[in-house]
Structure 1
């Protein structure tokens, strides 16, 4: 009798398996939701996800899903770069941060124009247009009043854990947003290490729902910016270059940008660097990534600085063209407990607007480096 019953069960299971599609949609609950109204998660939780693999997602554009209650070790509040497993564990409610969090997909452009968001994103994530944190004049971070309004629009307070990500590890849009949030006063800011590529490789769920953030029902909680000391103005940089021997202005740009062969930007006609700058390597070429695509550690930055006669003991101010790439070494220093670093937000873009400012063209360690002023530079160095 037991054998007969077992046979019936096995036959029934086989029939059910044959009749089921491997792509059956599984209606999702709001995996990214949390109990805090200030986080305002997942305005529309009705979207279905599929159980395709990450590889299939990349090939077909379909949504993925390997839902499970993921547990991961907790991380320190100052830890910025976090794994897909940790992020999923937050979504699953298994971290202290699960009580009040938000996930931001960071890219240039409105949500209507953001293909990276509409093609698929982490469940419950909102799109953050980088134009909303930067002003067009110098592409510097917007005024405190504008950032305060943006935080209210997204329902972010100083106590919200904000998890930022972009499409891949070399894209610094999420780092730029993360830096802005820290400057404003958000106390727990993370970046998904390796970006959305790492998320897909981990097989975690995605969706195509366009989520709309809910406005905050309470104050941000601290005056913005809570950390004005994180940014140096162009006048502060000029003063420190002239008077502070311990100060190092570190260029996070390509070698050709540093040598003055190209500006690196289609809208910047002049190429060179502020006189006195040292090279800290670029982030766009993967110089700040490990072989597995995760963000490099402090030892890598230490090596780059030593190549240029600088060290982690110097007062460091990182810059690039308009302030994106330079946020990566800043965040590496930040999560390692350093406090002797800043961002020169204006970068080369603002520096080259003043004809009187001193510049170097070439490597200052070599005899053929030319020292001149912005006004003497040629205007044919825009990126082609």
Structure 2
């Protein structure tokens, strides 16, 4: 059902760059960026002097419109604070703005206007502020990768040698079925031990990286393939391709790889972008030396001692549970190989998705990373802020690795994953305090 709208004349349906720049942060004004999400994050589009977005803008790419029913769109507008605004300004690329503005006007009562000269004019004026994801270059998009694989030199191109990896947990047949051109296969089993799902020893990691042809100065680009699966399967983690890629990103960073990047949206984004796949098996060329001693960044993975130190300092630190609400309150353990249910006493709930192998709370409808201001706002509401020492945990480190990677992209400086997670903590409840049930001050 539509909403009664305020009719504007042609001139009133537009707003100038000068007017908008003077109204940034104004109460009741919603600014909506309908460009592709990579441009919102910081990548430059054609004709743009700078990537990024108008400070305070909400990301709602026009390409999502075809996926959203009227009901879904209304939910989006409410969740993003647009529905309750007094005025809406839309900016982006040409026809997308007109189409989006017209559809938006059917669902909000506020007047909807468009930025006259769009983002190119705003980005070209160095006096105007621009916000962006601080480390956006680590979250690459399919167009960028296609240009790189074709031999081009895209924005923020690797300075030297690069390798592309199709990542999953023990499913080489998925890689054999089809993968991105030139991609090698990376099985997470070479990075973590099936005994406890923690990272392997320094010696094992050094050997694994050398066998994969990775040195500390290699740019490593990772992606996974997400397919449908249920949590009660024998090995449901095999379905969580993008999470596995971020698990690899954490461990490679821990080991000492300087430039680790992730393809946003993974395999699906590449296919939906219209790019070709291949079935040619690629074999890595081993290297004699990783180049540095492993680990270079031991601080990005903490063990149980540090987890307890974090819990002892709630004002200056946070141990964040990246688990479902049912896991958090102890209704389920979340895993078919973990018996005890509950949570680490004193943790902070950071949410995740529907089960231990999905991250809908942190993803968009196209499986890309949720706009980072929304993630940061949700964290701030829970007391998870960049001034604190923050360690994320889940069952065995996979979901926690995804949130760690997002915090890394946002430029947070003291972030880690508690590798043992619920798997380790719950094995000794006498030494490790556990809680269950709904916290008195929490809502699901």
Q: Work out whether the TM-score is over 0.5.
A: yes
Given candidates 133, 139, 156, the residue that maps to 1:81 is 139
Given candidates 259, 268, 271, the residue that maps to 1:200 is 271
Shift of 1:367: 9.2
- Do structure 1's residue 294 and structure 2's residue 294 form an aligned pair? no
Shift of 1:243: 4.5
Given candidates 337, 341, 348, the residue that maps to 2:411 is 337
Shift of 1:244: 5.4
Tell me the residue number matched to 1:187: 258
- Counterparts of residues 13-24 of structure 1 (less than 5 Å): none
Number of equivalences? 290
What TM-score comes out, normalization by structure 1 length?
0.71
Report if the CA contact (8 A) 1:81-1:192 is conserved.
yes
Tell me the residue number matched to 2:394: 320
Paired with 2:387 and 2:159, the residues of 1 have a C-alpha distance of 36
- Do structure 1's residue 231 and structure 2's residue 289 form an aligned pair? no
Report the 3-state secondary structure (helix = DSSP H, G, I; strand = E; otherwise coil) of the residue aligned with 2:395: coil
Given candidates 247, 252, 263, the residue that maps to 1:176 is 247
Report the 3-state secondary structure (helix = DSSP H, G, I; strand = E; otherwise coil) of the residue aligned with 1:325: helix
Report the 3-state secondary structure (helix = DSSP H, G, I; strand = E; otherwise coil) of the residue aligned with 1:206: coil
Paired with 2:287 and 2:150, the residues of 1 have a C-alpha distance of 23
- Runs of 4+ that moved beyond 4 A: 75-78
Q: 1:248 to 1:98 in 2, by over 3 A?
A: closer
Given candidates 308, 315, 319, the residue that maps to 1:249 is 319
Highest CA radius of gyration, 1 or 2? 1
Paired with 1:221 and 1:358, the residues of 2 have a C-alpha distance of 41
Given candidates 139, 161, 168, the residue that maps to 1:100 is 161
Tell me the residue number matched to 2:340: 270
Paired with 2:174 and 2:159, the residues of 1 have a C-alpha distance of 25
Paired with 2:260 and 2:384, the residues of 1 have a C-alpha distance of 28
- Do structure 1's residue 361 and structure 2's residue 436 form an aligned pair? yes
- Structure 1 runs not aligned, ≥5 long: 1-74, 369-384
Tell me the residue number matched to 1:216: 287
The root-mean-square deviation of aligned C-alpha atoms, in Å, is: 2.2
Shift of 1:84: 0.8
Which structure would you say has the larger RCO, counting Cα contacts within 8 Å and 6 or more residues apart? 1
Tell me the residue number matched to 2:20: none
Instruction: State the Cα deviation string for residues 161-189 of structure 1 (Å, max 9, x = none).
Output: 11111003963000001111111111111
